[in-house]
Amino acid sequence: MERHFDQELEDLKQELLRMAGLAEQGVAQALKALIQRDDALARQVTADDAVLDKLEMDVDDRVIKLLALRQPTAKDLRFITMAMKISGELERIGDQAVSIAKRALALSQEPSLKPLVDIPQMAEHAQGMIRDALDAFVYAKPDLARAVVTRDARVDALNDQLHRELTSFMIEDPRTITRALNLMTVARKLERVADHATNIAEEVVYLYEARDIRHQNQ
């Protein structure tokens, strides 16, 4: 039975890694659709998100079954309950990717407002944070998780900077307003992707150090 339980935990980890891969890919594809003005790809992002939705429900079922049948204790118990929280965060990252893809569809209808430099940079940061937060979870690396938490500030700063820049565009030329609003939304969704990755990382620190670092900077 011990060996079997280990295998079940391993399966749970693999399912979460798969979800993280899909979440990261959703963000990457949404960005690609935005930058290359590829409407077909933008629509594909929405279609692909259904897989992530399904996996979240699978993880929940798996967790409930593990808790009921294995009655795990201590660290395993904490790991399993965190898996449920983490799958929720990953599913929401997928939702952000869908929102970005929708804005990409709107933006491809109009001429480009400005070269997209900050937004791909934000996306790259956010994707790296997802990847590292999940690695920290699965491979028990609380230090890596702590590093993810500190990286969130960079994404926030890029978002604030872009918000100011786009506000100036709008004030100078009202014809840019709709496009600027759509780009603000894209940036905000990426900032939320980074927030979800940060939430995961905070849970990971809690899991492995039994210290709750949520809400420390408030």
The whole-angstrom separation of Cα 139 and Cα 199 is 17
Q: Is 50 in the site for its own copies (CB under 8 A)?
A: yes
The whole-angstrom separation of Cα 186 and Cα 97 is 9
Place of tokens 């930058």: 35
Interacting positions 152-171 with its own copies (CB under 8 A): 167, 170-171
Q: Whose Cβ is closer to its own copies: residue 112's or residue 174's?
A: 174
- Applying CB under 8 A, among 53, 110, 143, 209 the residue interacting with its own copies is 53
Residue by residue, DSSP assigns 39-91 as: HHHHHHHHHHHHHHHHHHHHHHHHHHHHHHHH---HHHHHHHHHHHHHHHHHH
- Applying CB under 8 A, among 3, 4, 73, 111 the residue interacting with its own copies is 73
Stretch (H or E) spanning 179: helix 177-209
Q: Whose Cβ is closer to its own copies: residue 80's or residue 136's?
A: 80
Q: How many residues bind its own copies (CB under 8 A)?
A: 30
What is the contact surface with its own copies in residues (CB under 8 A)?
A: 49-50, 53-54, 56-57, 63-64, 67-68, 71, 73-74, 77-78, 81, 84-85, 88, 167, 170-171, 174, 177-178, 181, 212, 214-215, 218
